[in-house]
Amino acid sequence: MPELPEVETIARGLARRVSGDVIESVWLSNKKEPFKSAPKQIAKTLADTRILDVRRVGKHIVIDLQPVNRASLKTSSARQWIVHLGMTGRMLIETPDAEIPKHTHAIAKLSSGRELRFVDPRRFGRLAVSETSFTGPGAEPLDISLEEFAKLFRKRKTPIKSALLNQKLLHGVGNIYADESLFRAGIRPKRRAASLTRTELERLHKAVKEVLREAITLGGSSVSDYVDSEGREGFFQLQHRVYLRTGEPCLVCKTPIKRIVVAGRGTHYCPKCQK
Ligand SMILES: [Zn+2]
Q: Give 15-35 pLDDT, tens digit per residue.
A: 999 999 999 999 999 999 999
Please tell me the distance between residue 253's alpha carbon and the centre of ligand 1 in angstroms: 4
Give exposure, 88-127, as e/b (b: 16+ Cβ within 10 Å): bbbbbbbeeeeeeeebbbbbbbbeeebbbbbbbeebebbb
Nearest to 146 by CA among 203, 215, 213: 203
Please tell me the distance between residue 273's alpha carbon and the centre of ligand 1 in angstroms: 4
Residues 6+ apart with CB under 8 A from 81: 42, 45, 46, 62, 63, 65, 127, 128, 129
Please tell me the distance between residue 105's alpha carbon and the centre of ligand 1 in angstroms: 46
Per-residue pLDDT at 184: 97
226 in helix, strand or coil?
A: coil
Please tell me the distance between residue 242's alpha carbon and the centre of ligand 1 in angstroms: 9
- CA separation (Å) from 50 to 20, 23, 63, 69, 205? 6, 6, 10, 10, 37
Which alpha helices (DSSP H) does the chain contain, by range? Answer: 4-18, 39-46, 70-75, 146-153, 160-165, 175-185, 198-218
Please tell me the distance between residue 211's alpha carbon and the centre of ligand 1 in angstroms: 17
Please tell me the distance between residue 18's alpha carbon and the centre of ligand 1 in angstroms: 45
The HSE-up count of residue 9 (CA atoms within 13 Å, CB side) is: 27
Enumerate the active-site residues: 2-3, 59, 265
Per-residue pLDDT at 44: 94
Per-residue DSSP letter, 20: T
Please tell me the distance between residue 173's alpha carbon and the centre of ligand 1 in angstroms: 23
Low-confidence ranges of the chain (pLDDT < 70): 70-77, 219-238
Please tell me the distance between residue 254's alpha carbon and the centre of ligand 1 in angstroms: 6
Per-residue pLDDT at 71: 61
Task: For residue range 29-56, list pLDDT tens digits in order.
Answer: 999 999 999 999 999 999 999 999 999 9
